[in-house]
Structure 1
Amino acid sequence: MARLSLALLGIIAAYHTIYALEISGSGGRYIILIFPGHGKATTIFKYGNETVLRGYIGYGKNAKREYNNEDGMLTVTPLRNGFNIKWETNQTDFEFKDCFEFQDDVHWFGGPQRKQQHWPLEKMEIDGSEAYVLKQLDNFSVAEYYWLTSKGVYIHVNERTPLFVDQNVHEPGKLCFIARAQAPYINRTRVLLEYDVIIEDNAREAHLHAIKNVLGKPSGHPNPKMVKEPIWTTWAKYKAKINDSIVLEFAEGIRKQNYSAGQLEIDDAWEKCYGAQEFDTSPEKFSDIENTIKKLKELDFRVTLWVHPFVDDDCHPRSEEGKKNGYFVKDPSGGDRATWWNGQNSHQIDFTNPDAAKWYTERLRKLQKNPGIDAFKFDAGETNYGPQPSVYNIDPELVPNALSKHYVETCAQFGDLIEVRSAWRTQSLPIFIRMIDKDSNWGIENGLYTLVTTLFQMNLNGYPMVLPDMIGGNGYGQLPDAELIVRWTQANTFMPAMQFSYLPWEITSKKFDAPKIVKKFVDLHAEKSDIILEAMKEAVKSGHPVNPPIWWIAPEDPIALACDTEYLVGEKILVAPILEQGATSRKIYLPAGNWTDGNNGKKYKGPVTIDAYPAPIDVLPWFTRDA
């Protein structure tokens, strides 16, 4: 479908006219037809006779009036292979709203990270009453303005749009983009709803176009040691009950079980107070921290530390320093009280202020020198902890997500052993982005099932360096049992890194040898880590996802396009983990190509469905794609 020339059939300059724009080439014609009516317009994007996208633009209104020529201007600008659609008005009490239908034969990808990480995206509900910004609520820590369809269409919304998204809530069966100058989008002089609609041959080609033109690709990848060796964290096992002796006991237990040391992360409750960025050296906590770090390194661990961007009000003298120097996020009246999960009377550091960012990083550099911390696990970074609405000394049309961007860019200064959990237009950074905390259950409620679908969401938003959350989840509400730990380990085996807190040898079952099975797959991950690193290098080179859905190699295969329980490693390995409790077999779909079973060497020629692949508790189904 070569796009060779553009023909402009009409120019949108007002609202009450019918216009059409055409893109023609050797493969056919793309046409956008806009049929304005009273208050909305039906919009159809076609390739030849096929409708590839159908929408309703111009829903916007306020309490006083519908659109008219004076209220808002619609312009449609032809691009090489699509269109830029732009609504704009200087009346800040106005709203724009464009909606697109979920068609029965079209799947959608991209969108936000959620607790219920449905995939494909059309299954998801998003309430348009909440701003589409990075926020802790419902795990919204990766939420790019990017949507992709199985028909090869993507929509990318301009970052200056004060965006609200409604999906299947107030408009069932539709994805609606809404622009309004409402908190947290403040100090706006206009209301803008602008987005590109790009049409390519298929979803793969469309996503590669987005990587090249709007999303970007990573400039490097995390340290290979984080891929090859496990990451061990104190959080899920101990929560905040940690001290010198517990951390050493944790580390020594790992080494006694013949696991490679890898990276050991000291998580929450090591500070004097939240925001001090100094160890609590009281007798019951970390009075011997220098010796502890020394011993950990003698055991061959790299040592990392959990950190956050907050200062509690009673954390002296840090809170006074921050207030005096204007380092904290403020609201329009000058209030600077923040609320986060560990503090109800706190302050959020304003990383759009270079002096505040420097103040934060200088204290972390001291921790690297003494007691010798190697790197950091950076938590939070979303926009909604500070006083609302928040005010920053930057371009108001980039508020509030710019806070997250500045924070993550600050974190990235600490090298290739770090991890962050939030992301906003930071696809170029060569660091791990961690999935949000998972719960210790099997299903779509933030459990094992969403380990795979969240992997897709992050990769298809341009973040291929994904650090899965702890194996077995965080133990919120309930602890993981042996079956969940084993199946979680298997599902995680071909993802970029393996992160443990619950120790495998401590979770046992009368039915099977859980520690032995877990070790088998940790070893398999290490054995195949070069293939994972090869996929990472390809992501740096071309922007390809490291762990895409299986349609990546079969972008016009309707079965592959709907699959949400199998994933790829680059284009070489297909993984079909067991995600259902009690299951000992599963249906597996292999797209076109020649495949070899990684467990028994059996050959398959795709496309083919294996109705009941046997997968007892010690088996992970995986296949290599033959050249």
Structure 2
Amino acid sequence: MSRLTLVLFGLLTLWHRSAAVEITSLPDRALILQFEKTGALLSISHKGKTVLESKIGYNRDVRNDFYEEEGILNITQVPHGFKVKWETVKLDTELKDCITFQDGVHWFGGPQRKEQHWPLEKMKIDGSEAYVLKQLDNFSVAEYYWLSSLGVYIHVNERTPLFVDQNNKEPNKLCFIAKAQSPYINRKRVILEYDIIIEDNARKAHMHAVENVLGKPKGHPNPMMVKEPIWTTWAKYKAKITDPVVLDFAKAIRKQNYTAGQLEIDDAWEKCYGAQEFDTSKDKFANIDSTVKELKKMDFRVTLWVHPFVDNDCKPTSEEGLKKGFFVKNPEGSTRATWWNGKDSHQIDFTKPEAAEWYAARLRKLQKSPGIDAFKFDAGETDYAPQPGVYDNLDQELVPNALSKHYVETCAQFGDLIEVRSGWRTQSLPVFIRMIDKDSNWGISNGLYTLITTLLQMNINGYSLVLPDMIGGNGYTDLPDAELIVRWTQANTFMPAMQFSYLPWDITSKKFDAPKIVKKFVDLHAEKSDIILEAMQEAVTSGKPVNPPIWWIAPEDPVALACDDEFLLGEKILVAPVIKKGATSRKVYLPDGNWSDGNSGKKYQGPLTIDSYSAPIDVLPWFIREA
């Protein structure tokens, strides 16, 4: 087999019917490219150490057939790294490059999932589904960003019609695939373009990404959402809510001497889905004006669950939306969408300014009467719309994720008391982004374990203003018991906000005083809220994560880089929650530095592993990093 090996400290350009090498200076970074008939082997080293191994141009002879018959491949120098770009006008062409997972090297970023494995190389992703925001498998935050423990990050250009296959068809590989298949339509070319940026370690690489591709928030949510609990009707009552139910819920909270905080009226308040008007029938919300006034007298801020859909039988709203062309349609002109509450519905097209304003104007009416303070915005993923969605107002290379971006931007105009659940290049917005619904279990299958791993995934994608889902989960299959409620509360204590639906005094145990323990940690959260707000302000100022992984303060520590069950609050506090049922102790790892036990004041010098930290049901292991 004929091979050509090039060692470069600069720029390689391959183009139509020719190949050339131009040598320039790129200190400490070397790119080695070896051509074969089945692709090209790419290796990048930094300071003499291999930091990335990849195969580009899978199953094609990149020396001949691609750039002589189909398109162009360029590998060029950019500041701090290299850019790989394939481009072809042959729309039936599939482009594919794969990164090899190296032994001992960890990866971060990637998509939000139900089984939220961390680090990322543990995860399996099926490349048959487009890498877009979708309701399937909790895929509501999925930036085109991957970060390695060796200080390399890959950022794929948003114009790439991206599919990702990981540990699936190609075991031990992360494969980027570009093809003009649904939902990527109306394209004039196929590109696979990504930057490979190399820094000294993962922390420096991530900060480079924040400054150059991810961005940072322009502000943070209202401090009262941090200091006080959020109470939502959803998990406890599901759709069985009425004026009396909501008032009884609020009175029970105040009776237990909790701060009122924010009360969310969740699903089943509308007269029909999409009307954005209360169902004022006698057995629902006939007295909603009085209810809202009473809630505010009890010092609650009142918010309302909303969504971006209109059911077809919700007339005249659906008729108006159809007449004015405000709904997403597919190439056949159908506007039929499906979501969890409706199979014959419509998705509002937020890429049309007139449609976004139509939606927002009706929410502003709710703010005036009955006096709603803010909103919990649900959904936002792309695949509820009829597929593939057609968006005439958009640059077609930004379809379909731009629908999510425009929706979240519309939501953000409603101020600093709101929450959203989807995110696509919206890291700059000063609002809470909520973890998608968690289940009431302990494990990695969307349970308590994933409260931590999802927190890390979102922070390393640039979404630091994280609202954890309801304490104890949503109770979709099993209800949480008292132990799960307590341990979930503890794990949530040093995260930005605490959200309850199952009331702690309703789920009790004969073995311990669950309500007393929960209140202890709600009070601890409030006591430390200034530190949380300080970390949020630091995110605004510098882009540093609010709740980073523990390697953030030890980016070359192999134990810290592999850790998936501890996290930091800023750079001051390390938290190691108990997340195993029945456990009364756990192993704790403290990276380099001077540490003080948050419970006992005992001093530790890291790096150190505490093999069995005693943590009975009323103890959360947490540590203060001393200067």
TM-score range for the pair, normalised by the shorter chain length: over 0.9
2:75 equivalent in structure 1: 76
What is the TM-score of this pair, normalised by structure 2? Answer: 0.97
- Structure 2 counterpart of 1:122, one-letter code: E
Separation of aligned partners in 2, 1:147 and 1:265: 35
> Quick one: structure 1 residues 408 and 42, their matched pair in 2 at CA, closer, same or farther if it must change by over 3 Å?
same
**Any idea what SS the aligned residue of 2:193 has?**
strand
Distance in 2, matches of 1:548 and 1:427, equals: 15
Looking at structure 1, the residues matched to 19 and 36 of structure 2 have their Cα atoms a distance apart, in angstroms, of 9
Check the 8 A contact 1:211/1:217 in 2, yes or no. Answer: yes
By how many angstroms is 1:72 displaced?
2.5
Residue in 1 that maps onto 2:35: 36
**Helix, strand or coil: the match of 1:392?**
coil
Which amino acid in the other structure matches residue 52 of structure 2? Answer: L
Q: Which amino acid aligns with 1:121?
A: L
The amino acid of 1:328's aligned partner reads: F
Counterpart of 1:557 in structure 2 is 557
Q: Is the 8 A contact 1:23 1:82 kept in 2?
A: no
Provide the residue aligned with 2:395 in structure 1: 395
Whole-Å separation in 2 of the counterparts to 1:19 and 1:539: 42
Equivalent-residue separation in structure 2 for 1:219 and 1:21 (angstroms): 40
* 2:15 matched residue in structure 1: 13
State the alpha-carbon separation in 1 of the partners of residues 541 and 68 from structure 2.
Answer: 47
| 8 Å contact kept, 1:60–1:98 | no
Pairwise CA distance, 1:494: 0.2
Query: Which string of whole-angstrom CA distances, capped at 9 and with x for unpartnered residues, describes residues 357-393 of structure 1?
Result: 0000000000000000000000000000111010002
Helix, strand or coil: the match of 2:97? strand
- CA deviation map 1:89-135 (0-9, x unaligned): 01001010000000111100000000000000000000000000000
Deviation of 1:79 after TM superposition, in Å, equals: 1.0
Q: Do 2:13 and 2:73's aligned partners in 1 also have CA atoms closer than 8 Å?
A: no
- Structure 2 distance, partners of 1:68, 1:18, is 13
Counterparts of 1:32 and 1:18 in 2: how far apart (Å)?
A: 15
> CA separation of 1:143/1:125 partners in 2, compared to 1, >3 Å: closer, same or farther?
same
CA distance in structure 2 between the partners assigned to 1:412 and 1:374 by the alignment = 14
In the TM superposition, residue 11 of structure 1 has moved relative to its aligned partner by 2.7
Q: Is the contact made by 2:43 and 2:52 (CA closer than 8 Å) also made in structure 1?
A: yes
In structure 2, the residue matched to 1:270 is 269
2:3 maps to: none
* CA deviations over 1:489-509 (Å, ceiling 9, x no partner): 000000000000000011110
Report the AA paired with residue 32 of structure 1: L
Aligned residue type for 1:228: K
Q: Which amino acid aligns with 1:515?
A: P
Whether 2:77 is the aligned partner of 1:100: answer no
State the partner residue of 1:438: 438
Aligned position for 1:246: 245
1-structure distance, mates of 2:384, 2:339: 6
Q: Secondary structure at the match of 1:403?
A: helix
Alignment check: 8 A CA contact 1:218 1:427 kept: yes
Contact residue 37 and residue 60 of structure 2 kept, 8 A: no
Report the Cα distance in structure 1 between the residues aligned to 2:19 and 2:34, rounded to whole angstroms: 8
2:5 corresponds in structure 1 to none
Specify the alignment match of 2:626 in structure 1.
626
Query: What is residue 137 of structure 1 aligned with on the other side?
Result: 136
Judge conservation of contact 1:17–1:35 (CA < 8 Å) in 2. Answer: no
CA change 1:10–1:133 in 2 (3 A) is closer
Contact in 2 for aligned 1:593/1:607 (Cα 8 Å): yes
Q: 1:513-552, aligned counterparts within 5 Å?
A: 513-552=513-552
Contact 1:18 1:36 in 2 (8 A): no
- Within 2, Cα distance between the matches of 1:7 and 1:250? 66
Which letter maps to 1:525? H
Distance change (3 Å), C-alpha of 1:535 and 1:290: same
Equivalent pair of 1:22/1:31 in contact (CA under 8 Å) = no
Are residues 1:501 and 2:518 paired? no
Amino acid at match of 1:551: W
Shift in Å at residue 427 of structure 1?
A: 0.5
Could you tell me how far apart the structure 2 residues matched to 1:21 and 1:245 are?
75
- How well do the aligned residues superpose, as a CA RMSD in angstroms? 1.4
Aligned position for 1:590:
590
Q: What displacement does 1:49 show? A: 2.6
SS in 1 for 2:397: helix
- CA–CA separation in structure 1 for the residues paired with 2:33 and 2:210: 28
Aligned length: 617
Trace 1:389-468 onto structure 2 (pairs within 5 A): 389-393=388-392, 394-468=394-468
Secondary structure of 1:405's counterpart equals helix
CA shift, 1:13, in A, is: 2.6
Q: Give 2:50's aligned residue.
A: 51
Q: Contact (CA 8 Å) 1:60, 1:67: kept in 2 or not?
A: no
Do residues 282 (structure 1) and 281 (structure 2) align? Answer: yes
Measure the CA separation in 2 of the matches of 1:369 and 1:24: 59
Q: Distance in 1 between matches of 2:154 and 2:25?
A: 17
> 1:112–1:9: structure 2 CA closer, same or farther, 3 Å change rule?
closer
Partner of 1:150: 149
Per-residue deviation, 1:22: 6.7
Q: Say whether the 8 Å CA contact 2:13–2:19 is kept in structure 1.
A: no
Q: Mind listing any 5+ residue stretches in structure 1 that lack a counterpart?
A: 1-5
Verify the 8 A CA contact 1:20 1:32 in the aligned structure 2.
no
Structure 2 partner of 1:3: none
| 42-51 or 394-403, larger mean C-alpha shift | 42-51
Q: Which residue of 1 aligns with 2:4?
A: none
Q: d(CA) in 2 for partners of 1:9 and 1:621?
A: 50
Check 1:149–1:21 CA distance in 2 against 1; reply closer, same or farther (3 A cut). farther
Shift of 1:36: 1.9
Note the C-alpha offset of 1:591. Answer: 0.4
Q: 1:344 to 1:455 in 2, by over 3 A?
A: same
In structure 2, the CA distance between the partners of 1:408 and 1:373, relative to structure 1 (3 Å rule), is same
Q: How far apart are the structure 2 equivalents of 1:196 and 1:583?
A: 44
Residue matched to 1:182:
181
Farther-moved stretch of structure 1 (257-266 vs 384-393): 384-393
Identity over aligned residues, as a percent? 74
Distance 2:244 2:13 in 1: 72
- Helix, strand or coil at the partner of 2:70: coil
**In structure 2, what residue type is equivalent to 1:189?**
K
CA–CA separation in structure 2 for the residues paired with 1:544 and 1:267: 33
Matched residue SS, 1:345: strand
Task: Give 1:24 deviation, angstroms.
Answer: 3.8
What is the CA–CA distance in structure 1 between the aligned matches of 2:22 and 2:49, rounded to whole Å?
16
SS at match of 2:350: coil
Q: Does 1:571 align with 2:592?
A: no
Deviation (angstroms), 1:58: 0.4
Partner in structure 1 of residue 581 of structure 2? 581
Shift of residue 21 of structure 1?
6.6
TM-score after normalising by structure 1: 0.97
**Equivalent residue number for residue 303 of structure 2:** 304
Task: State the alpha-carbon separation in 2 of the partners of residues 225 and 599 from structure 1.
Answer: 26
* d(CA) in 1 for partners of 2:11, 2:312: 62
1:23–1:155 Cα change, 3 Å: farther
Whole-Å separation in 1 of the counterparts to 2:180 and 2:11: 33
- Per the alignment, residue 609 of structure 2 pairs with 609
Q: Aligned pair in 2 of structure 1 residues 316, 603: CA closer, same or farther (>3 Å)?
A: same
Paired residue secondary structure (2:580): coil
Instruction: Give the whole-Å Cα distance in 1 for the aligned partners of 2:65 and 2:38.
Output: 6
- Displacement of 1:33 after TM fit? 1.3
CA distance in 2, matches of 1:60, 1:365: 55
- State whether residues 572 and 625 of structure 1, in contact with CA within 8 Å, keep that contact through their aligned partners in structure 2: yes
Deviation of residue 52 (structure 1)? 0.2
CA contact (8 A) 1:61 1:96 kept: no
Q: Distance in 2 between matches of 1:102 and 1:541?
A: 34
Tell me the SS of whatever aligns to 2:548: coil
Structure 1 contact 232–499 (Cα < 8 Å) conserved: yes
Secondary structure at the residue paired with 2:68? coil
Cα–Cα, structure 1 residues 582 and 14, in superposed 2: closer, same or farther, change >3 Å?
farther
Q: Distance in 1 between matches of 2:256 and 2:174?
A: 51
Q: In structure 2, how many angstroms separate the alpha carbons of the residues matched to 1:433 and 1:197?
A: 28
The CA distance in 1 between the partners of 2:22 and 2:567, in whole Å, is: 40
> 1:61 Cα deviation (Å)?
6.1
Q: Is the CA contact 1:535–1:569 (under 8 Å) kept in the aligned structure 2?
A: yes
Q: Deviations over 1:328-379 (max 9, x none)?
A: 0000111100000000000000000000000000000000000000000000
Shift in Å, 1:18: 8.7
Deviates more, 1:12-21 or 1:347-356: 12-21
User: Which residue in 1 is equivalent to 2:317?
Assistant: 318
| Deviation for aligned residue 1:16 | 8.1
**How many Å separate the matches in 1 of 2:549 and 2:47?**
28
Aligned partners of 2:325 and 2:79: how far apart in 1?
47
Q: Distance in 2 between matches of 1:332 and 1:607?
A: 58
Aligned AA for 2:35? P
